[in-house]
Amino acid sequence: MAHRESPDATASDSTLHRHDYRSAIAITAGFAVVLLLMALMIMIGLDRISQVHDRLDVIVHEHNVKTELLNNMRTAARERSVTLLRLSITDDPFDIDEGIMEFRGHASDFMVNRNELEAMPLSEREQELLAESRELTMRAVEVQERVLDKILDGDMENASTWLLEQAIPRQNEVLDNHASLLELQQEAAEAAARDTAEQYEKAVQFMSLLGGAAVLIGILVALGVLRRSRDIETELFREKERAQVTLHAIGDAVITVDTDGRIDYLNPVAEHLTGWSDAEARDEQLDRVFRTIREDDGTPLPHPLVEAVPDGTACSLDQGAILVARDGREYGIEEVSAPIRDRSGAVIGAVLVFRDVSRAREMARDLSWAATHDCLTSLANRMEFERRLRQLVTSAHQDGREHALLYMDLDQFKLVNDTCGHGAGDDLLCQLTSQMQAQLRESDILARLGGDEFGVLLESCPLERAEQIAEDLRRAIEQFRFDWEGRLFRVGISIGVVPIRGEHGHAAQFMSEADAACYLAKERGRNRIHVSRPDDAALCHHQGEMNCLQRINHALQNNHFWLYGQHIEPLSGGGPRHTEVLLRMIDEDGAITPPSTFIPAAERYGLMAAIDRWVIDRVLKIASQSPEDEGQFAINLSGQSLCERGLLDYIVERIETSGVTPHRLCFEITETAAIANLNQASRFVNTLRARGCCFSLDDFGTGMASFGYLKTLRVDYLKIDGSFVRDMNDDPISHAMVESIHHIGHVMGIKTVAECVSHEGLLSPLRAIGIDYAQGFGLHLPEPLEPCPIQREGRTTDTRYA
């Protein structure tokens, strides 16, 4: 493609030619000057020309190097943003690692080129722009590093938002700054060229004055000067060609127009995007070649250059501009335009620079959709569902409208997933989505909340109508049969229905209430509906358990449990006195919660193993600080802890690191838990007894079938259930039970402990039977083993009865 010269370039060439002709005339006229003066002229003239040439070489070299470094910096900065954009849409760890390396590599390239540029001779203005560039770059890098951190944390949603709303705009500020530096380079090069030309003209004039001494010598000198001038002109032309090649090679599209809005030039990228060649577009009006429309409604969007060339400031179209190519293809673009000036500062045209951002806009739309939808079912996701719920709650409060919320959990979905694989489970979810959508109104919002849980928002729907819709959904799912490779599956759905009214509640409360209602529907037999109504006792109980569960988790995280101890007294002989460790939970206000309140919830929701670990750690700390002769600490272990994989190794490791003698620890397990997990309990007991720990079987006697298990389960103590001990003075059967349990225990070499000794009147019959130890409020009230974890100002509590 032929390169069209700009008006500035043409004017520069004409000026150079005029300078050359004047030089030749002046040198020829000086031929009559004396030979001595001519020799001096030649020396001085050649020296001046050499200086001009050297200055021109320095100018050309510095201009090329600075331009190359700036372009490298722009490329590295742009590639950093592109790399971040690619990282924000991939979840492949290998792609992420590779992308991070590319991201760091571009940063290194940017710093190397900037350091080289700063090391070069710079004008005051260049130094100011570079300082501004450094500040803009630091802000852009800070945001990019935050985006990268979010990507590494897996927070793709916030990473994309930060990237599009903050990182890319700040990066564009850096690129604009670099564009200013490039423009300054061009202006500096032009100014230096003008200065060089002026110096050259002065040298030639000086030579002309001295060259009159000898026409012949003057002609020879003139020929040499003309030859040298042609060399300079060739260098200038080559420099101009290099600038044109650079313009052709950049990744942005470039169009230049004259003051009448007629096109002078298109670079290859502009040719590709517009569908016009440079030759075809030349002298055409800009609006014919560069035709743009609005992205949202397709209406024409004329460019400001169509009306008039800007008088000194850059201008651009709206962000949502679409370029319509000659063949009808459409490209999303970003563009900016600026005036072109000659040496006198007069505007002689304008340049329009734009780039194709179609892919970036498509990715932004995809990210926006993915942020609010479930990728498998194309339903709204939990975040979007909760946003819509907040809107309905607001309308209920402000307008008094009544809506409804359905929280749904599939029944038997895990069976399909485990039997046929996740592919079948995904297909089932998609088919069930279609079944559910068929039962809903157009205004209703169906969302996948996670896994096999769904939610429905019923706008402007009274509770009775919501119940009917819920029943339609339940019946549709119940009647649906899922066929996978010839196998038919039937699933059900449990639904919690909650009315959304304006008199109370917020979005999180309604979600919690709906979840609890769904839980109750599932607990009461599955494939049914539970409607939340005022004074719903079952729902209140479930929510109470949830509240207790939160308090337990808070206590675990903040060490708000408190250890108490109750003595286990020897009844005969001089044996040591032992202590059973009891647990209390402390609220934020210092109120003490007994174990009967929170232990059932902890067992129901699988938190007992964590609680037992906390107790073991605290007891080992207390035991390590107490004398060896204080007897054993009896620690209660739940059935869940016996079955937890890893707890046995944890206890062994903690005993070894604490330095506590193992025989000072006695672990209490209930008879029911031991029998239900006999093999695991036997391994647990045998392992720790081999290391020196003791074991006690708690609440013994509640199931008489357990006598046979004592041969398998080797324990050191039998704790006779308090229901027998309390009534043994008045009930002969209870007395016989205590006596028989003690007899069997002693035959097997196991010591016995009587629980719930409420008064000293029980001690005589217990001693008569031969019971080894006794424990109860009649002997010792529980008391703290350590200071209260929460300091309660102005309050005193009788902790003996806590």
38: CB partners within 8 A, 6+ apart = 30, 210, 211, 213, 214, 217, 218, 221
Of residues 587 and 549, the one with the higher pLDDT is: 587
Neighbours of 426 (CB within 10 A): 13
Question: What are the C-alpha distances in Å from 281 to residues 112, 255, 261, 277, 347?
Answer: 40, 10, 12, 6, 22
Q: Give the Cα separation of 103 and 151 in Å (integer).
A: 13
Edge to edge, what strands does the sheet with 453-458 contain? 445-450, 453-458, 403-411, 492-500, 529-531
Q: Kindly report the length of the chain.
A: 802
Q: Is the pLDDT of residue 574 over 50?
A: yes
For 256-286, what is each residue's pLDDT tens digit?
Answer: 988 888 898 898 998 989 999 989 989 888 8
Task: Give the single-character DSSP code of 526.
Answer: S
Q: Give the Cα separation of 596 and 606 in Å (integer).
A: 16
Neighbours of 16 (CB within 10 A): 17
Residue 746: what residue type?
A: H
Q: Give the Cα separation of 465 and 601 in Å (integer).
A: 35
Contact 734, 757 (CB under 8 A): no
351: CB partners within 8 A, 6+ apart = 254, 255, 256, 337, 338, 339, 340
At 705 the pLDDT is: 45
- Structure token pair of residue 278: 């440079």
Confidence of residue 369 (pLDDT cuts 50, 70, 90): confident
Confidence of residue 341 (pLDDT cuts 50, 70, 90): confident
Residue by residue, DSSP assigns 651-698 as HHHHHHHHT--GGGEEEEEEHHHHHHTHHHHHHHHHHHHHTT-EEEEE
The residue with tokens 């599955």 is 526
C-alpha 228: how far from chain center: 65
664: CB partners within 8 A, 6+ apart = 623, 628, 631, 632, 633
Q: Is the pLDDT of residue 449 over 50?
A: yes
Q: Is the pLDDT of residue 539 over 60?
A: no
Q: What is the dihedral of CA 376, 380, 385, 389, to 10 degrees?
A: -150
Give the three-class secondary structure for 1: coil
Q: Give the Cα separation of 214 and 42 in Å (integer).
A: 11
Of residues 211 and 590, the one with the higher pLDDT is: 590
- Structure token pair of residue 727: 């009534």
At 218 the pLDDT is: 59
At 181 the pLDDT is: 77
Contact 289, 276 (CB under 8 A): yes
Instruction: State pTM to two decimals.
Output: 0.45
At 185 the pLDDT is: 73
At 794 the pLDDT is: 43
Of residues 17 and 787, the one with the higher pLDDT is: 787
At 22 the pLDDT is: 45
Of residues 90 and 289, the one with the higher pLDDT is: 289
Give the three-class secondary structure for 559: coil
Q: Residue 770: which of 799, 733, 744, 800 has the closest Cα?
A: 744
493-494-497 Cα angle (round to 5)? 125
At 454 the pLDDT is: 95
Cα torsion 551, 557, 559, 562: sign = positive
Confidence of residue 29 (pLDDT cuts 50, 70, 90): very low
- State what percent of residues in the chain have pLDDT above 90: 19
- State what percent of residues in the chain have pLDDT above 70: 83
For 95-104, what is each residue's pLDDT tens digit?
Answer: 777 878 877 7
At 21 the pLDDT is: 44
Most confident of 17-31, 183-197, 377-391, 620-634: 377-391
Give the three-class secondary structure for 296: coil
Pinpoint the alpha helices (H) of 282-357.
286-289, 304-307
Which of 91-100, 554-563, 769-778 is predicted least confidently? 91-100
* Mean pLDDT, rounded, for 435-460: 92
* Mean pLDDT, rounded, for 458-470: 92
At 38 the pLDDT is: 63
Q: Give the Cα separation of 352 and 408 in Å (integer).
A: 57
Which of 82-86, 415-419, 754-758 is predicted least confidently? 82-86
Contact 688, 654 (CB under 8 A): no
Contact 16, 233 (CB under 8 A): yes
**Residue 752, CB-side half-sphere exposure with 13 Å CA sphere:** 24
Neighbours of 399 (CB within 10 A): 10
For 673-732, what is each residue's pLDDT tens digit?
Answer: 777 777 888 888 889 999 999 999 887 876 544 566 677 778 889 998 888 888 888 888
* Mean pLDDT, rounded, for 299-326: 75
HEC-encoded secondary structure of 27-43: HHHCECCCHHHHHHHHH
Q: Give the Cα separation of 154 and 23 in Å (integer).
A: 72
At 231 the pLDDT is: 76
At 203 the pLDDT is: 67
Contact 213, 31 (CB under 8 A): yes
Residue 240: what residue type?
A: K
Which of 10-14, 443-447, 641-645 is predicted least confidently? 10-14
Q: Give the Cα separation of 90 and 104 in Å (integer).
A: 18
Of residues 770 and 43, the one with the higher pLDDT is: 770
Work out the angle between the directed axes of helices 35-87 and 168-210 (0-180°, nearest 10).
Answer: 170
At 467 the pLDDT is: 92
For 470-506, what is each residue's pLDDT tens digit?
Answer: 999 999 999 999 999 888 899 999 999 999 887 667 8
The residue with tokens 């569902």 is 385
As beta bridge partners, residue 453 has: 409, 450
Which pairs from 274-277 meet CB under 8 Å and 24+ separation? 274/323, 274/325, 274/326, 275/325, 275/326, 275/327, 275/329, 276/326, 277/1
**Burial class (CB within 10 angstroms; exposed 0-12, middle 13-18, buried 19+) of 641:** buried
At 476 the pLDDT is: 94
Contact 151, 85 (CB under 8 A): no
Average pLDDT in the chain: 80
